[in-house]
Amino acid sequence: AELLCPIALLLGLATRYAAIPLLIMSAVIEFTVFQHQQHFFWMAACFYLIIHGGDKISADYFLNKKFKK
């Protein structure tokens, strides 16, 4: 998940599903290992992607638009 989910986010594939493991990973790192402000930024970014998805800039949007006819 640590390798595939960032690639899926970069490509815009399964954006909401790829952000969930990254949110969990950031939370575990923040609350158990390191305590840096940067982890809160990543958690907020992942939470936003889970709620809103990739919107019109993701590959999911174009694929859904193309095959939903």
- Per the CB < 8 A criterion, the answer to whether 23 and 50 are in contact is yes
pTM of the entire predicted model: 0.82
* Residue entry with tokens 């982890």: 39
Between 15 and 1, the higher pLDDT residue: 15
**pLDDT digits 0-9 by tens, 10-58:** 999 999 999 999 999 999 988 898 888 888 999 999 999 999 988 888 8
- pLDDT computed for residue 69 by the predictor: 64
Whether the pLDDT of residue 64 is over 90: the answer is: no
Tokens of 18: 């790829």
